Structure 1
């Protein structure tokens, strides 16, 4: 039996009547009382996820408004910074395991503070199940109170937390946020129930800021960050997100979703995933623990909750069972009569291995406050393979998947969500969380920006069924969720369409 059980933050209506939240608040206060260069401080842990200490614009720590009062001195020595800071994994197949280790390390720090204050020795991080029933889409009220029950300042209260409408009302909009990724069946790659690049993300090396997010990271993770933070809120940028105490409850829920997914599905067995980027000769995953201990861990060591001695009070899907559009259902919709066996559901296709570019727009476009509309010209000799595959669809001749890509998206702000439509049909929403770092020339991504992959197969199927697939172009509309300031520039390098051949 696990020693520690993580429970729903909305127990006792998400107030300080929930002892897990009250002890969390008090212990966060203990960690916040320590200096920036203390490896056991709140600020040090936030900097391990990401930090910006200099400059005059958000998310630089010296200009963040109100509470908490964020220090920028004294800095640790250079060796300590290089060892611990700026190591979070994004747009990477290491996203889930790195953050699991990060949560465990923070949890140990908080638990030690809880015990020192007279709290329970089995305290564990609660999770914010924003996809749960009733009011759970709202931030737990304990995070909006300025004071604790004893009248002292509430360490969970944050000034720079603005919400999806930038009015201070913090909640999660459903949709677009969903748990659709939980219907995936493979961690990396694609199959009939898993869109590229897979549940956990594309194969990468050490990736503090990368290019393409996995499906769990895309939705709900990235979308929740931006909706909670809002414009210039702590949660909206990776370099300030770890300063907000709600960050860890959000990631606790992401970790719970991964654990729930693992009940039926499997993580990679590739040695380079199991061993982590240290096998490439790159940075190891390392966390400071209480009593000046350093903990080095690998993704392979993060795969079993039992071995890590904790669990969750609920690992069931957070909503009613997902209505998965299986390959059999798709074939029936396309008029095929064959029955598909379950073995096809487990087929793994690597990113790009079976993909062909079938169309692109004229080039870079800039998104302003009113959005943009662009035309993707389809190359006839390649595009014809798509309707041909739909016409011949059967269990022995699988129909193509079709993807829309927004390539090399660059910008200076992360706090926005883009709504993408194809021929007036919704293709999906993408969060710009991580955009600023991915656009820096000196980052891991060499300034190439983010690339978003949207599965538009259902849209193409609908066009085919309605005899509207004899076309030479597709119209793509991109609308920002929030206003774009005049001095803020968001560009899309190219809008492209790919077909993915599904092989038996």
Structure 2
């Protein structure tokens, strides 16, 4: 039986009447009182998630505004920084297991502080289920109070938290935030219910800054970060996100969603995932613990199953509401194939090969009104797509079709793009991590982010209604918030790919 139970932060109305939030604030206060070079400090743990040092200064933290005041010194010894800092795994199939270990380590630090104050020895991190019923889409009120019940400063209060409209009203917009990823059935790969690159993300090595996010990471994770932080908010940038106490409640919910997903779906069995990047000669996953400051080393294999860990959740429902899932059989029927019965596709990775079938003329820049671009389709390749739709059957599966926004670059992370194809919604993408991914001296070499949107249903609709143009598709990209004159967002290329399917 699990020793610790993580519960919904909105119990008792999300106020300090909820003892989990009250003691979280007390514990966070202890960690915030410690110096930056203390491996058990709030600031040290934020830097574990992500922070860069250059010329003895922080290129990001030293310009942060708002409360609480963030220290930029004393910087730990170089070997400690190299060992612990800048570890977070993003755009990677290690995203979920790395963050699970990170939460466990932070939770132990906070629990030790709570116990030292006479608090409960079984305290556990609460989670913010912004997709839950009622007011749960709003940030719990305990995070918006300047003072604790006794009149002291509230360690959970952050002024650099601006919300989706950057007006200080912090809540989650549903949509675009959703839990549709919980309907995926494979961790890495694609099938009818699992868009590329899969629930957990693409195969990578150590990936502090990557290129393509997995479906859980794309939505809700990335979108929630940007909606909570807003313009210049700490949560909107990976390098400062760990400074905001609500960060850990957000990630606790992401971890809960992964645990719920695992109730009916499997994690990878590939040794390169189970053993982590250290098995390939790269950095290990390592965290300081209260009684082990030298470091707790862990692997994805050790994070795979909640049943083997010390904690669980009070609610591991797969979803908060039923999600309509388009099965392969339903797609074939829509395209006019004979009804298919007893077709089991749950764990099948149907993708076998991808082919570029169209691209726009080149780089486009977004302004406040967004941009429109025409994707010219290559004749013979695109005819293969329409041919696969016409011949659709269980023995001749129709192609999946993907839209890619390639090498998206910019100087700010706080925006969400709405993407449409021929006036039909293709999806939403969050620019969380864009600044780092665009830095030519960064981990990703300045190549930017790439977003993959499954537009198969749009193509099916156009085909069935006899509106599938053989020459081009029109793509519209609209920013959710205005793009200031001193910021640029560019898309290197807008492209269309077909992916052949085989059972």
How far did residue 383 of structure 1 move? 0.1
How far did residue 369 of structure 1 move? 1.0
The residue correspondences of 1:61-460 to structure 2 (distance < 5 A) are: 61-293=61-293, 294-349=295-350, 353-460=352-459
CA–CA separation in structure 1 for the residues paired with 2:475 and 2:424: 9
TM-score (norm 2): 0.98
Considering only aligned residues, what root-mean-square deviation do their CA atoms show, in Å? 1.5
How far did residue 127 of structure 1 move? 0.2
CA–CA separation in structure 2 for the residues paired with 1:227 and 1:242: 15
How far did residue 344 of structure 1 move? 2.8
- Asked if the contact 1:340/1:395 (under 8 Å) is kept, the reply is no
- Asked if the contact 1:53/1:62 (under 8 Å) is kept, the reply is no
Cα 1:398–1:345 shift into 2, 3 Å: farther
Instruction: Tell me what 1:37 maps to.
Output: 37
Cα 1:58–1:427 shift into 2, 3 Å: farther
CA–CA separation in structure 2 for the residues paired with 1:78 and 1:341: 59
SS at match of 1:135: helix
- Asked if the contact 2:186/2:346 (under 8 Å) is kept, the reply is no
1:322-353 Cα deviation digits (max 9, x unpaired): 11011111111111113153433321146xx4
SS at match of 1:263: coil
Q: Which runs of 5+ in 2 are unaligned?
A: none
Q: Which runs of 5+ in 1 are unaligned?
A: none
TM-score (norm 1): 0.98
Instruction: Tell me what 1:465 maps to.
Output: 464
Q: Count the aligned residue pairs.
A: 502
1:82-110 Cα deviation digits (max 9, x unpaired): 00000000000000000000000000000
SS at match of 1:136: helix
- Asked if the contact 1:228/1:235 (under 8 Å) is kept, the reply is yes
CA–CA separation in structure 1 for the residues paired with 2:347 and 2:310: 30
CA–CA separation in structure 2 for the residues paired with 1:86 and 1:50: 4
> Which stretch has the larger CA shift, 487-496 or 30-39?
487-496
CA–CA separation in structure 1 for the residues paired with 2:5 and 2:451: 35
How far did residue 52 of structure 1 move? 4.4
- Asked if the contact 2:52/2:86 (under 8 Å) is kept, the reply is no
1:369-419 Cα deviation digits (max 9, x unpaired): 110000000001000111111111111111111100000101111100000
> Which stretch has the larger CA shift, 462-471 or 213-222?
462-471
How far did residue 59 of structure 1 move? 7.3
1:31-81 Cα deviation digits (max 9, x unpaired): 0000000000000000000124669x9971122222111000000000000
SS at match of 2:429: strand
CA–CA separation in structure 1 for the residues paired with 2:107 and 2:469: 57
CA–CA separation in structure 1 for the residues paired with 2:19 and 2:347: 43
> Which stretch has the larger CA shift, 87-96 or 440-449?
440-449
